[in-house]
Structure 1
């Protein structure tokens, strides 16, 4: 035991003799500044920088330590950055997918202003008169007290509109349809006769105007309400023409503006 202690002291003295200023050199080693990380390393794990402050660097630690050399510093824990998911390729407006109603007229909802509603009416016509406002696409059934029921309608295409005073000469439920000769000249693909029913273009009800070929009738194309679409007839939604049909009689005066 005495021999081992003497040998250790002799080795230390020899080292100091080779490097006489070793103690001063150890004190002169610059110490790293203290760094505080988001998550501090485990206090039980010693780092090379901490040991170097007490042992004078890796070489001295190797001599007097466990012989494994400097240990690796534990990496700091940084806050995880948010991920950004790709949103897909940019498409110009003309190539973007449009809602169904933009491409398919059958899916377009009815404009609320064409819904049946009670409105103020300042005209001179008496109660029970039907007034058709062709430019604005409304049909009025005049009531008492300066009120009227207003319905949205579809009217004639340019060149097929007309004006005048008529009276309802007949009423039909689910009427048959026989296209007039003039229409067949323009549309030879049309059937010569069609039985009444849901597929019939005259819809659920028809009110014939005088001796003319014009009618106030329903439609199996409700999305055309509010447009110039017919060959001169006044078309309504089926639910509206059924409502009007029950309120007017044969002989009712109809004024077309």
Structure 2
């Protein structure tokens, strides 16, 4: 085996290689160290990412419903026919950027453009005034505009943001997930952020 210079330990590559070595030679696999995930991390992720019923939150599924749980960083979507999907999301960086309550989808944009809000521009004067649709756009491939000015449910090209407190107020999804939500959401779909 050759050593890679200036590289960090790649756990996934090590485990895949160890599994392959174990298939080829059982004696070798018995001598490999076992690397386990911390139990606390696994428990926290499993307990916070759970499916929910819509009835405690909405009176009807007319036009569908979206529930965003800020604390578990998850977006729950129910279609009018009762279909359900759960998606990991990014949430606002801090409480002062977080808005909770009821709103609805008022506009859907495939290939959104982006401009920072006045508050964002004040905090980050170096940001551009406008970003066209494309791979550099912070709204990703699709955006659902809400009745609240400046708040969106949108995609992101920066997948590191999903599952984290990383936004300036919006709810972010993987681009493939926002494409699904975008396809199912209608103008008037009810949205609740808790």
Fold match by TM threshold 0.5: yes
Q: 1:193 to 1:143 in 2, by over 3 A?
A: closer
Q: 2-side partners of 1:121 and 1:154: how far apart?
A: 19
Q: 1:177-230: CA deviations, max 9, x gaps? A: 111111111111111111111221110000011041100000011121100000
- Extract unaligned runs of 5+ from structure 1: 1-87, 89-95, 102-110
Q: 1:144 to 1:171 in 2, by over 3 A?
A: closer
Higher strand share: 2
Instruction: Please say if 1:203 is aligned against 2:140.
Output: yes
Alpha-carbon distance, 1:121 to partner: 3.0
Contact 1:121 1:147 survives alignment (8 Å): no
Q: 1:74-118: CA deviations, max 9, x gaps? A: xxxxxxxxxxxxxx9xxxxxxx943399xxxxxxxxx9x79xx9x
SS of corresponding position for 1:169: strand
Superposed, 1:74-113 pairs within 5 Å as 97-99=8-10
Aligned alpha-carbon RMSD (Å): 3.0
Q: 1:163 to 1:99 in 2, by over 3 A?
A: same
Q: 1:194 to 1:139 in 2, by over 3 A?
A: same
SS of corresponding position for 2:156: coil
Instruction: Please say if 1:121 is aligned against 2:58.
Output: no
SS of corresponding position for 1:188: coil
Instruction: Please say if 1:132 is aligned against 2:63.
Output: no
Alpha-carbon distance, 1:144 to partner: 7.1
Q: Extract structure 1 runs of 4+ deviating beyond 3 A.
A: 96-101, 143-147
Contact 2:51 2:86 survives alignment (8 Å): no
- Correspondence for 2:26: none
Alpha-carbon distance, 1:235 to partner: 0.4
How many residues are aligned here? 151
Bigger radius of gyration, 1 or 2?
1
Alpha-carbon distance, 1:146 to partner: 7.0
SS of corresponding position for 1:197: coil
